[in-house]
Amino acid sequence: MNSGSKRQPDPTLEFTGERFTPECVREIFYEHWHRYAWAARMVTGLEVLDCACGEGYGSQLLAAAAARVDGVDIDPTTVEHARRRYGGERLEFHAASALALPFADQRFDAVVSFETLEHLAEHDQLLAEFRRVLKPGGFLVLSSPDRKSYSDDTGFDNEFHVRELYRDQLEELLGRHFANYRLYGQKLMFQSALWQLEGAVGPAEQLTVAADGQVQLGDRPAAAALYFLAVAAAEAVALPEPAALSLFTDRAESVYAHYNAEVGKHIAAGTLLAERDAEIERLRALKTPLWAWLKQRFGRK
């Protein structure tokens, strides 16, 4: 970076729905930041490519642990913004296509690419390019929504998604290029967390109440994943071992705080409706004797 002069804040990028920006809040913030925070623990001291880096916030999170990060995005305006806001000695941004990366073969120890696959139709070309720039023994970390839970089950149609994959399709794709892989699931869920406050942390468990009220014990969340994350390598090397269960929140607990605020609004609205209904009934009760008096006083006999 430069001398010692304080960098002036840059204007934020407009959120269009195509690229996440760090000014987004609550649910979408949790999903995107959690992926990068999780990946950063795997790339300590490594040379990393962040492909389809967007605004650059994720590349910066990776750079806090990595030896160096190169971020790539196809949009020059977005790249220029990332350079101004985050660029430095160990973090550089490039405008280029993910299908034609501007790097030599075997350049990186790790490639990180979140929410990229579904924006392209050329999936095999993309993974072949990732494999080309990875060193022998290097690994890929990517994410992509599960078409079933993201679109089929919800009826949601993301206008920026070109080709979403089901789990079996994602696994077939990975197998053609990175036979050594492990899948993880991600979904924002409402959970009650209970943890040991001191001492070594023991094994994890997931307790789920079924429709009949019976509590079921499992070793992982019972909900269907909304996103898949894959850690993959082309070589028969040991894959990084991130935490099997990773929890993410912010100090302000913004999602929970927003939930409580919305509940408060609904309770207040319910109270107002109840008061209104009571007032209507009171006026209706007054109407009958008043109407009878008016009819008696002024009505025809």
Q: Are residues 183 and 146 in the same domain?
A: yes
Confidence of residue 7 (pLDDT cuts 50, 70, 90): very low
The answer as to whether 64 is a domain residue is yes
Long-range pairs of 154-158 with CB within 8 A, sequence gap ≥ 24: 158/17, 158/118
| 203 vs 155, higher pLDDT | 155
Domain that holds residue 296: 251-301
What average pLDDT does this structure show over 172-187? 96
What average pLDDT does this structure show over 232-261? 84
The total number of residues shown for the chain amounts to 301
Q: Are residues 57 and 149 in the same domain?
A: yes
Q: Are residues 66 and 169 in the same domain?
A: yes
Q: Are residues 185 and 91 in the same domain?
A: yes
Looking at the structure of the chain, the number of domains it has is 2
Q: Is the pTM of this model over 0.85?
A: no
The answer as to whether 17 is a domain residue is no
What average pLDDT does this structure show over 25-44? 86
Q: What is the structure's pLDDT at 291?
A: 64
Q: Are residues 118 and 65 in the same domain?
A: yes
Q: Are residues 241 and 257 in the same domain?
A: no
158 pLDDT above the threshold of 80: yes
Residue with tokens 């929140």: 249
Q: Are residues 81 and 220 in the same domain?
A: yes
Q: What is the structure's pLDDT at 213?
A: 92
Q: Are residues 164 and 235 in the same domain?
A: yes
The answer as to whether 257 is a domain residue is yes
Q: Are residues 227 and 256 in the same domain?
A: no
Range list of H helices, the chain: 27-40, 57-63, 76-86, 123-133, 147, 167-177, 254-298
Of 211, 232, 248, the one marking the end of a domain is: 248
| 222 vs 262, higher pLDDT | 222
The answer as to whether 2 is a domain residue is no
The answer as to whether 269 is a domain residue is yes
How would you class 141 by CB atoms within 10 Å of its CB: exposed for 0-12, middle for 13-18, buried for 19 or more?
buried
- Mean pLDDT (the chain) is 86
4 pLDDT above the threshold of 60: no
89 pLDDT above the threshold of 60: yes
Q: What is the structure's pLDDT at 22?
A: 56
Q: Are residues 41 and 171 in the same domain?
A: yes
292 pLDDT above the threshold of 70: no
Specify which of 4-18, 180-194, 245-259 reaches the highest per-range mean pLDDT.
180-194
Domain CATH for 38: 3.40.50.150
The predicted-structure confidence for 92-136, as pLDDT tens digits, reads as follows 999 999 999 999 999 999 999 999 999 999 999 999 999 999 999
Q: Are 227 and 144 in contact (CB under 8 A)?
A: yes
Element (DSSP H or E) covering residue 2: none
Q: Are residues 235 and 259 in the same domain?
A: no
Q: Are residues 301 and 235 in the same domain?
A: no
